[in-house]
């Protein structure tokens, strides 16, 4: 879970954490918290609060919150930054990334394209820090497009619980429409 990247340092520093995940991934948060407790994390150290924007707004402005860390849309991040700024509350924002893979003239395309599988398609390409674009010299355009088409053609689409599946469903109908809009 992406949350682990933010939770681990806070927990290692001895902080108590409140995790309010996206409503679209709420069950992941509960399972993660249960696993942490099963691994020995004391009850009450990692607290999961389900809910949407209203719950998030309450947590961001709550006087008992010492720091806010948010991963999500730029629009929501601006609102959170404004609230935290007024409260002089530390905030870390990871917003709407557009990570690029850069392919140089002399790059070995076979190894480069193979590496793009893990940096572009993990979690069905729905992770904010994944590669979402490729920058390559015009002289390599055709080769890069052909190699990427071959990579995509070789991915198995199917049931996410099947170990043979490379790409499963997107998280919601809204995300599906967003992806279709890119095409």
* Domain boundaries defined on the chain: 3-95, 99-182
Closest CA to 128 of 93, 169, 98: 98
pLDDT for residue 129 is more than 80: no
Mean residue pLDDT across the chain: 90
CB 160 within 8 A of CB 122: no
Residues with Cβ within 8 Å of residue 4, at least 6 apart in sequence: 32
- pLDDT for position 1: 63
Distances in Å between the Cα of 112 and the Cα atoms of 29, 64, 100, 152, 164 are 34, 47, 13, 14, 23
Binning pLDDT at 50, 70 and 90, where does residue 11 land?
Answer: very high
Q: Provide the pairing of β-strand 68-72 with 99-102.
A: unpaired
Report the C-alpha gap between 157 and 162 in whole angstroms.
Answer: 10
Mean pLDDT of 127-137: 83
Provide the CA 85 distance to its chain's centre, in angstroms: 24
Mapping DSSP to helix (H, G, I), strand (E, B) and coil, where does residue 47 land?
strand
pLDDT for residue 126 is more than 80: no
Report the C-alpha gap between 79 and 96 in whole angstroms.
Answer: 14
For 52-97, write each residue's pLDDT tens digit.
999 999 999 999 999 999 998 899 999 999 999 999 999 999 987 7
- pLDDT for position 16: 96
Share of the chain above pLDDT 90, in %: 58
- pLDDT for position 3: 85
- pLDDT for position 179: 81
Mean pLDDT of 164-173: 88
CB atoms within 10 A of CB 75: 9
Binning pLDDT at 50, 70 and 90, where does residue 26 land?
Answer: confident
When the candidates are 1.20.200.10, 3.40.605.10, 3.40.718.10, 3.90.650.10, the CATH number that belongs to 3-95 is 3.40.605.10
The model's pTM is 0.75
Residue 140 corresponds to which tokens in the numbers above? 């390599």
DSSP code, position 179:
H
- Which residues are annotated as catalytic? 94, 128
Report the C-alpha gap between 43 and 26 in whole angstroms.
Answer: 19
Mean pLDDT of 39-49: 96
Q: Any idea which fold 99-182 has?
A: Aldehyde Dehydrogenase; Chain A, domain 2 (3.40.309)
Do 99-182 and 3-95 fall under one CATH topology? no
Mean pLDDT of 118-124: 77
Q: Provide the pairing of β-strand 131-135 with 68-72.
A: unpaired
């Amino acid at each position: 879970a992406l949350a682990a990247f933010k939770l681990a340092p806070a927990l290692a520093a001895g902080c108590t954490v409140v995790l309010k995940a996206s409503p679209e991934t709420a069950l992941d948060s509960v399972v993660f918290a249960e696993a942490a407790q099963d691994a020995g994390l004391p009850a009450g150290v990692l607290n999961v609060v389900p809910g949407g924007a209203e719950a998030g707004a309450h947590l961001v402005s709550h006087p008992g919150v010492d720091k806010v860390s948010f991963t999500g849309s730029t629009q929501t991040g601006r609102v959170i930054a404004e609230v935290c700024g007024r409260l002089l509350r530390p905030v870390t924002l990871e917003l709407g990334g557009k990570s690029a893979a850069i392919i140089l003239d002399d790059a070995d395309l076979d190894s480069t394209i193979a590496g793009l599988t893990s940096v572009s398609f993990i979690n069905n390409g729905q992770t904010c820090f994944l590669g979402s674009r490729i920058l390559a010299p015009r002289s390599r355009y055709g080769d890069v497009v052909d190699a990427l088409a071959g990579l995509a053609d070789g991915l198995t689409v199917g049931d996410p619980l099947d170990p043979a599946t490379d790409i499963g469903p997107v998280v919601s109908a809204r995300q599906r429409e967003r992806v279709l809009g890119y095409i």
